[in-house]
Structure 1
């Protein structure tokens, strides 16, 4: 295998495959290599449905080899280090590779070590997570007979920040269908201060929370899991706007010292802490938060003009979703091609668009679309589906989530269509 490429792409996830496909559509003579060790590619947005028994995991899987665009070289290997100044990187098996241009989009990784006891709790099956094994989530939901159910998330950025809520709403609907909702107390402790950052969506979700009788607990950051005794511990923010307090509603909640809250549980779903991959964090490409330091609008690296970053690893103040990638890729592709042709990366067209399909029950969904300013920006095309208020629950949006979006992903986005 050769050691130099015109364009190297790190990651064969949504961002990597889409970028390669759109580049080849623009110019099939480009010399592109894409580095990724995994032989399988997952449609992760459907994991929420898998965790609620509404979708099979098999439908989320394709083989990576079948998705690599024609003319692009798949380097099945792991990147271990990036030497940006030298325009080289190191891989585990192939060794050193060099490039003219680099696109960094390896996604992010779960880091269970950031919450004490979480790894043990997952290994013992005491805690479930759609981010780790959605099929296990469904098994635990089916085995749940009532009691205290907790859904929570870390204080790190996570892939699709609304996902911990989606499985909670589906679980509440499942408890109702199963007839155990009256014997169940549902809690949503989370580090943030609001249910959702977009005002229109937050208003609807507040109604959903009230409908299910969920105890919403803002400013609660999970810090420890006691798997043996089935207890979760949260550090509560203590400031003037949100003083440390005891959340009422259950005898299983205790206030400990230093604003730590202890909660007993019978069911616990947790989105694990997530970070950039180690080889990215150890490079000089990251910002103070450990994420790829790119321009918010052009996605060009702030220090190295021949490097671009997009997807979940990028340090952008918007939700990390596949929908965001859908809008980021055309900007990166255009800017790369401008550089190749001797110009500048002057396309500043990415304005922070992201989207979160918030499933609120079986057959119901809200579609949150927004930008860097957290402005609600619904797609006008939704009117063609007779959806005129996507900030409200709608059964047609459920059909969009379960059927149309997966079709769009596999048959359009992965093949280089701009959608």
Structure 2
């Protein structure tokens, strides 16, 4: 049986960035369990869905992003055997560890919304959240000139759920440019009592939703779709509501943690890795750590949140070995939201929803062209050239 000093499960932003940071801190034996042959910079999927990016821009071979000096295990983790400090792979092989960092991300659960899988197979429903559907989302937007459409913000847990507003605003502004916005009946379904349940951000977003004539359904989730009847059923606190004659449903699927995490999940975590949300250490299992979308860190998942989590967790593995006090993660997260095709706002907050701006000299919740350009063009470069190499 192979054994490594640190085993990182996950080949996304969290796993690759953490492995790179650990190497920079001097860890000589890091293994990364990552089954996919490709790595994607997922924030660009929203721009693909808005016709402002193409899939090759966000895709790299997984081998090319595995940090230098790390061992790549191109297999899927299927179980954690914490008593023996082992991770079981889908090959049946077990890999030993001294420290284990779990960052497998979330899985889309198409069956959780009745009719969604069939609607997506028929092409009547698409979403920017899925790799295979982002390009089809833009094709649907570009081909529409009239009719009722439904966009959704997914309930938590969800990877960067608030950014589901990006495809809505990019689509609405495209329809405005084409002169057909007045013939579109746009609906937004949000699980929150306001747009994002963040008053300081909602005040900025609501005027833009009104500008595009968007009808917002608060406190609602999608309860079912029927692509033949062209209906979307909403679940609200008052019961069910049906939207008829829907031309296209831009529905983000619900997400869940991988089932094999049950052994490291705690009661009330919804299947997420049961970590102390401040230190990212597992509450009961020694030398097991968690970060990213599949960890119970009590804040909304985002790439910006991962940057701080990676920094804290990598340092805490070192500190734990030296017997030093562990650092803490404050729950910082961020939601970048385009409000049209050339402006973007940044929503920064902590796990309590309190604003946590990173700069004091500029209000980043004010939509700006510079923020859009940074998010669209600069961030991908930073991601591939610095973040995945442990430099940020």
Q: TM-score range by the shorter chain?
A: over 0.9
Match for residue 340 of structure 2 among 361, 364, 377? 361
Q: CA deviation at 1:345?
A: 5.5
Q: Which moves more between the two structures, 294-303 or 370-379? A: 370-379
**What residue is the counterpart of 2:16 in the other structure?**
17
**What residue is the counterpart of 1:250 in the other structure?**
none
1:251-270 matches, cutoff 5 A: 259-264=239-244, 265-270=246-251
Q: CA deviation at 1:141?
A: 0.7
Is 1:413 the counterpart of 2:392? The answer is: no
Cα distance change of structure 1 residues 89 and 345 upon mapping to structure 2, 3 Å threshold: farther
Task: Give the TM-score normalised by structure 2.
Answer: 0.96
CA distance in 1, matches of 2:198, 2:332: 12
1:8-47 matches, cutoff 5 A: 8-28=7-27, 30-47=28-45
CA distance in 2, matches of 1:266, 1:197: 28
Give unpaired runs (5+ residues) of structure 2.
none
**What residue is the counterpart of 1:130 in the other structure?**
128
- After superposition, what is the alpha-carbon deviation per residue over 1:129-151, rounded to whole angstroms, capped at 9, x for unaligned? 11122101001111112110110
CA distance in 2, matches of 1:333, 1:156: 26
Task: Give the TM-score normalised by structure 1.
Answer: 0.90
Is 1:160 the counterpart of 2:153? The answer is: no
- After superposition, what is the alpha-carbon deviation per residue over 1:226-258, rounded to whole angstroms, capped at 9, x for unaligned? 111110101111xxxxxx2xxxxxxxxxxxxxx
Q: CA deviation at 1:344?
A: 4.6
Is 1:398 the counterpart of 2:372? The answer is: yes
CA distance in 1, matches of 2:324, 2:116: 46
1:2-401 matches, cutoff 5 A: 3-28=2-27, 30-93=28-91, 95-132=93-130, 133-237=133-237, 244=238, 259-264=239-244, 265-280=246-261, 282-288=262-268, 289-341=270-322, 343-344=323-324, 346-348=326-328, 350-380=329-359, 388-401=362-375
Q: Judge conservation of contact 1:13–1:41 (CA < 8 Å) in 2.
A: yes
Give unpaired runs (5+ residues) of structure 1.
238-243, 245-258
Secondary structure, aligned partner of 1:283 = helix
CA distance in 2, matches of 1:398, 1:94: 46
CA distance in 2, matches of 1:68, 1:179: 46
Secondary structure, aligned partner of 1:158 = coil
CA distance in 1, matches of 2:316, 2:300: 22
CA distance in 1, matches of 2:154, 2:291: 22
CA distance in 2, matches of 1:284, 1:21: 24
The count of aligned residue pairs is 388
Q: CA deviation at 1:94?
A: 5.5
CA distance in 2, matches of 1:373, 1:202: 16
CA distance in 2, matches of 1:157, 1:345: 30
Secondary structure, aligned partner of 1:361 = coil
CA distance in 1, matches of 2:209, 2:153: 17
